[in-house]
Structure 1
Amino acid sequence: MTANVIVTVERQFDFPRAQVFKAWTEPAELARWRGSPGWHVELDSVSGDLRLGGRHHHVKVRDSDPGTRVGTDGVYTEYFEPDVFVSRERITGDPGIDPDVPLELRVEFSKTGRDGTLVRVIQGPYEPDVAGWHGEGWERELTRLQAYLVSSNGHGAVA
């Protein structure tokens, strides 16, 4: 098979772009929400050099099996706060992703209404047989992002 599928997921948040962008890029914030349910980001693993050419890293750990770990190592190929970042990434520990084939992650933050943000996640290429699962994973992570933003502010809702 050839990795040739791009996954696109988007979600509306009732929070300002700068706040949502920071939740994605600041290591301490990212560690509080990234990962699908049943996974968590190992806080000590998170690092980020928030600039064009900057490197970032985090490790997700399966809650029920701490030996199952998925690492992400990336380099920002675009970084325009609070509008967009693009990262060329190598993922290790995920059986559906070849660690020798880099993925591209593009996350766009578009202002909506007064203080809303539309987040669009575009990632790939994936093998066709695992792309759907990864799209669902992003949906779950965006739900966790929503819960994190609400808990940090005490308000807000997914539109």
Structure 2
Amino acid sequence: MPSQQRADTMIIIERMFAQDASTLFRAWTEPDQMARWRGSPGWHVETDGLVSELRPGGRHHHVKVRDDDPSVRVTTDAMFTEFFDPDVFVALQQISGDPEIDPQQRMELRVEFVKTGRDGTLVRIIQGPYPPSIADQHSAGWEAELGRLETYLAGGGAR
């Protein structure tokens, strides 16, 4: 049952990466790369049915599956509303299978890739709205996923 709290909280997560914006943008948007790192530890993204139509108005679909219980599945269906390679993408999402998120509530995901100084890229994730009681939990989930992204980009393959 989705939380009965009003969903009015946006989460913002930032992390610096040594890679350039183009490399990071591709890791976030190309299905073959996404499947290698997306999902918190203990989860993976199914490769079957993963869709990412890389354009404004394009569809995005992925399913995260719990490794130790494949019956636990969280599905994200989205449409890109902004897509500026390699700087930013924005998607309107509907998430089902997470008992704390109302599958009828549209959420927005904005991911920015900001060049900083001579080297490095700041990745900024803005997502919501969440009910306040689960915002911290989902923020921690993004932090874990970004750790997997770092491992993947360092050649560790994540997953």
Fold agreement, TM-score > 0.5: yes
Give the distance between the partners of 2:39 and 2:146, measured in 1 at CA.
Answer: 9
The farther-off stretch of 30-39 and 42-51 is 42-51
Runs of 4+ in 1 over 3 A off after TM superposition: none
Task: Pick the aligned partner of 2:100 from 96, 99, 105.
Answer: 96
2:138 alignment counterpart: 134
Q: Structure 1 vs Structure 2: percent identity of aligned residues?
A: 59
Contact 1:34 1:141 in 2 (8 A): yes
CA shift, 1:113, in A, is 2.6
Supply the distance in 1 between the matched residues of 2:121 and 2:11 (Cα, whole angstroms): 20
| 8 Å CA contact 1:53, 1:77 repeated in 2 | yes
1:64-143 → structure 2 map (5 Å cutoff): 64-143=68-147
Provide TM-score, normalisation by structure 1.
0.94
Root mean square deviation of aligned Cα: 1.2
* Unaligned ranges ≥5, structure 2: none
- The alpha-carbon deviation at position 114 of structure 1 amounts to 2.7
Q: From the superposition, tell whether residues 117 and 32 of structure 1 become closer, same or farther in structure 2 (CA, over 3 Å).
A: same
Aligned counterpart in structure 2 of residue 17 of structure 1, from 14, 18, 21: 21
| 1:120-150 deviation per Cα after TM superposition (whole angstroms, max 9, x unaligned) | 0000000111111000000000000000111
Q: For the residues of structure 2 that align with 1:100 and 1:2, how far apart are their CA atoms? A: 13
TM-score normalised according to structure 2 size: 0.94
Is there any run of 5+ residues in structure 1 with no aligned partner, and where?
154-159
